[in-house]
């Protein structure tokens, strides 16, 4: 059995309930298979095991009083994967629907092929998967360096939205389990005002 498959099986055995994390970890590890099998030093140094295990996980309570004067208690999370190049990549999430598996999922790096030549990144949530806007220093440094626009669409927002019907009516070039590649009839127009936090994407 290959080194990658061994690590994936170990993860599934250790965290069978963390389906979101296992999905992300499996995809990233499989994309590294051709590289790590060329040199035994990756296995000797246990690089993949170190990649998928966070350096530190912090879970804490957040008591607060709602508009009705009632005390509420939420959980806050901080998953810190790697400090090798400076401040941790991670985030704080307070929504009651968020689980540790979701935070570990968000902390696993995406494959380069997923974002190569991307000009706009849009992050949004679903009723069963709530995420906050990314605010990491490294993240925004990379976006600025590559001239990539970033949009965050809060779940349940009255002003910010994605026109799913418009997207679903476009010509599909390729469709996989986690990706739909569409082609528009005319160029996409993106307008952003970072200082005011405003932006539109139209066709």
How many other CB atoms are there within 10 angstroms of residue 43's CB atom?
Answer: 17
CA–CA distance, 147 with 153 (Å, rounded to integer): 20
* Residue range of the domain that includes 7: 1-53
Q: Against a cut of 0.75, is the pTM above it?
A: no
HSE, side-chain direction, 13 A CA sphere, residue 149: 15
In a domain, 116, yes or no: no
Q: What is the pLDDT of residues 110-130, one digit of tens each?
A: 655 666 677 888 888 777 666
Nearest in space to 103 (alpha carbons), one of 117, 115, 93, 113: 93
In a domain, 114, yes or no: no
Residues of the chain predicted below pLDDT 50 = none
In a domain, 8, yes or no: yes
List, in sequence order, every residue forming a beta bridge with 57; answer none if it has no partner. 79
Domain count, the chain: 1
In a domain, 140, yes or no: no
Q: What is the pLDDT of residues 131-168, one digit of tens each?
A: 666 655 556 666 777 788 888 888 778 888 888 888 88
In a domain, 2, yes or no: yes
């Amino acid at each position: 059995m290959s080194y990658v498959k061994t690590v994936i099986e170990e993860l599934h055995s250790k965290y069978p309930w963390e389906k979101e994390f296992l999905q992300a970890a499996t995809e990233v590890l499989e994309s590294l298979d051709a590289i790590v099998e060329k040199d035994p030093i990756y296995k000797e140094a246990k690089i993949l095991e170190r990649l998928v295990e966070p350096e530190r996980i912090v879970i804490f309570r957040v008591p607060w009083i709602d508009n009705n004067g009632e005390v509420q208690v939420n959980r806050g999370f901080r998953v810190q994967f790697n400090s090798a190049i400076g401040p941790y990549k991670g985030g704080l999430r307070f929504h009651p629907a968020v689980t540790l598996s979701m935070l570990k999922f968000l902390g696993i790096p995406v494959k380069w092929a997923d974002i190569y030549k991307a000009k706009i990144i849009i992050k949004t949530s679903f009723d069963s998967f709530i995420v906050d806007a990314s605010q990491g220093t490294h993240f925004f440094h990379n976006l600025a360096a590559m001239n990539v626009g970033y949009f965050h669409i809060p779940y349940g927002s009255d002003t910010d939205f994605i026109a799913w019907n418009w997207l679903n009516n476009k010509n599909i070039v390729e469709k996989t389990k986690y990706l739909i590649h569409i082609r528009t009839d005319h160029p996409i127009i993106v307008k952003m005002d970072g200082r005011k936090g405003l932006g539109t994407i139209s066709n």
